[in-house]
Amino acid sequence: MILAPDKLAKKLGLYFNNPELLKRALTHRSADIKHNERLEFLGDSILGFVVAERLYEKFPDADEGVLSRFRSSLVNQSSLAAIARALQLGDYLIMGSGELKSGGYRRDSALSDAMEAIMGALVLDQGMEACRTWILQLFHDAIERLSLENRNKDPKTRLQEIMQARGLPLPEYTLLSQKGQPHDQLFRIACKIALLNDVVTGEGSSRKKAEQEAAELLLARLSTELRIK
């Protein structure tokens, strides 16, 4: 049963002057032509800016590369989906019957898109400051757990050290696909670790870069879901 959007608003600590904006933010394209993709586009941009601004303030001595890695570890499909699951957002998604039956309300993509769409709806309803405040509440703990210590180590090394410290098997990297011409290739790599049940995929112009991205995403999951850094 799909729950009413106003119940979600209370759970999120939000109030919408125009409740239809929240309803649209929760509406998947399978349910209605008035779906959430435009709001998701807006929210994605706002989220990236707010998190980047906060990281810029928190780490005044960090260079652009470190700040970019921090932002990537926070703003990604997996981390947004984890926040959405903690809020039981899937119970409120408005989807077509086929999408519901196939478990679409549990997919990372649908959950993360809806989170960003809510951010877009909030900025339209109440302005940038209200949206910034809510985003920083959502990401407060994850941002506070970030540290410049060991940031010179690449994501694969840090992930490997986490597993070794717990006496667990090392991460498993699997090549899923390799496309493009020799001078312009795209690699997709899957990575699985014993601490999480599902597989995370990374992409890059080389196998190494794809593996690093997958490791970075897993580190974000560990930080968000298990508070491991």
The whole-number average pLDDT for the span 72-79 is 83
- Identify the pLDDT of residue 79: 83
pLDDT top residue among 78 and 122? 122
Residue 213 is a catalytic residue: no
pLDDT of 2 above 60: no
Q: What is the mean pLDDT of the chain?
A: 88
Residue 40 in marked binding region: yes
* Catalytic, out of 99, 108, 116, 213: 116
Whether the predicted model's global pTM rises above the 0.85 cut: no
What are the chain's domains?
5-144 (1.10.1520.10), 155-225 (3.30.160.20)
* Catalytic, out of 44, 99, 108, 125: 44
The predicted-structure confidence for 111-139, as pLDDT tens digits, reads as follows 999 999 999 999 999 999 999 999 999 99
pLDDT top residue among 85 and 78? 85
The predicted-structure confidence for 18-74, as pLDDT tens digits, reads as follows 999 999 999 998 988 899 999 999 999 999 999 999 999 999 988 887 888 788 878
Give residue 171's pLDDT band: very low, low, confident or very high (50, 70, 90): very high
Are the C-beta atoms of 40 and 113 separated by less than 8 Å? yes
The token pair that represents 8 in the structure block: 């979600």
Report the alpha-carbon distance of residue 47 to residue 21 in Å, rounded.
Answer: 18
Residue 61 is a catalytic residue: no
Of the candidates 136, 143, 107, 111, which has an alpha carbon nearest to the alpha carbon of residue 46? 136
pLDDT top residue among 133 and 77? 133
